C-alpha cells in the first residue's frame, strides 16, 4: 500500500500555513465522504489522502472572512437539506415496511384462527348482546307503563 511521503511538499504561495492545508484537507475529505466528486486522478482511495492531493495540486481554494462565513452557511444548509431528505426517505421506507408486516401478520393469523363450524364469531356475539340489551330495555319500558 502506497502512502504519501512525509514531510508533505507543496508549492510556495499555495497556502499561508500548514495549519490551513490541514483544515482544507479535512474539510475536503468530509465533502468526499458525503459524495462530492474527486477532482484529480489518483492512485489513492482514502478520502483524506485524496483531499490532500487535491489541495497540493491547487484544485481547492480557501476562503477567509465574510466569504468563508457565507460559504460555510451555504454548505451547512445543503447538508441539513440532504439529511432531511434522507430522513424522509428512511421514514417512508419504514412506514411501507410496517404496512407490509401488518399485512403479513393478518394473513398468518387469519390462516391459524379459522372459526370452527357451529361456533359463533365476534360479530354474531355482538349482535346477540345488542339484541339482549334491547329486549331488556323494552321489558323495562313495558313495566313502567
- Angle of helix 47-56 versus helix 18-33 axis, rounded to 10: 130
Domain ranges of the chain: 1-62, 64-114, 118-144
Largest distance between two CA atoms of the chain: 110
CB 82 within 8 A of CB 34: yes
pLDDT in the model for residue 50: 92
> Considering only 5-14, 52-61, 67-76, which range has the smallest mean pLDDT?
5-14
Please tell me whether residue 60 adopts helix, strand or coil conformation.
coil
Q: Which residue has the higher pLDDT, 32 or 3?
A: 32
pLDDT in the model for residue 68: 86
Whether pLDDT at 7 is above 50: yes
> Considering only 46-55, 78-87, 110-119, which range has the smallest mean pLDDT?
110-119
pLDDT in the model for residue 1: 46
Peptide bond into 7 cis (omega under 30): yes
For the stretch 64-94, pLDDT in tens is 889 989 988 998 898 899 889 888 888 888 8
**What backbone torsions phi and psi does residue 82 show, to the nearest 5 degrees?**
-65, -45
pLDDT in the model for residue 66: 92
Whether pLDDT at 136 is above 80: no
Amino acid at each position: 500500500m502506497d502512502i504519501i511521503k512525509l514531510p508533505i511538499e507543496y508549492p510556495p504561495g499555495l497556502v499561508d500555513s500548514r495549519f490551513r492545508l490541514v483544515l482544507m484537507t479535512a474539510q475536503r475529505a468530509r465533502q468526499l465522504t458525503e459524495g462530492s466528486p474527486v477532482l484529480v486522478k489518483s492512485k489513492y482511495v482514502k478520502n483524506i489522502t485524496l483531499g490532500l492531493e487535491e489541495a497540493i495540486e491547487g484544485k481547492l481554494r480557501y476562503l477567509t472572512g465574510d466569504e468563508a462565513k457565507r460559504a460555510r452557511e451555504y454548505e451547512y444548509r445543503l447538508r441539513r437539506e440532504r439529511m432531511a431528505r434522507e430522513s424522509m426517505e428512511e421514514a417512508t421506507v419504514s412506514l411501507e415496511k410496517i404496512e407490509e408486516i401488518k399485512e403479513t401478520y393478518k394473513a398468518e393469523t387469519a390462516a391459524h384462527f379459522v372459526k370452527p363450524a357451529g361456533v359463533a364469531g365476534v360479530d354474531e356475539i355482538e349482535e346477540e348482546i345488542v339484541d339482549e340489551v334491547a329486549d331488556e330495555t323494552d321489558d323495562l319500558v313495558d313495566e313502567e307503563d
